[in-house]
């Protein structure tokens, strides 16, 4: 399990990667596999991060 500091870092990284991937078009997306590959983090951490960010209304996750 990630520390609070790591989780905050993951949140920033996820938002950065998503922003770059969609290039301003909210209809585009990125898969979880792509996200894990781009971030180089343990598998469960991006999922938890995306769940948090979706709960905050910052992203939409399927």
Token pair for residue 24? 């301003």
Q: What is the dihedral of CA 33, 17, 57, 3, to 10 degrees?
A: 80
Q: Tell me: the pLDDT tens digits for 26-42?
A: 777 788 778 878 877 76
Q: What whole-number distance in Å separates Cα of residue 25 and Cα of residue 48?
A: 24
Q: What whole-number distance in Å separates Cα of residue 45 and Cα of residue 27?
A: 24
Q: Where are the domains of the chain?
A: 4-55
Contacts with 45 (C-beta within 8 Å, 6 or more apart), sequence order: 2, 6, 7, 10
pLDDT, position 23? 80
Q: Tell me: the pLDDT tens digits for 36-62?
A: 788 777 666 777 888 888 899 988 887
């Amino acid at each position: 399990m990630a520390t609070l500091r790591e989780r905050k870092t993951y949140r920033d990284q996820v938002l950065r990667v998503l922003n770059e991937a969609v290039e301003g078009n909210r209809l585009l997306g990125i898969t979880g596999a792509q996200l894990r590959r781009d971030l180089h983090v343990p598998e469960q951490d991006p999922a938890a991060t995306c769940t948090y960010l979706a709960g905050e209304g910052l992203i939409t996750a399927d």
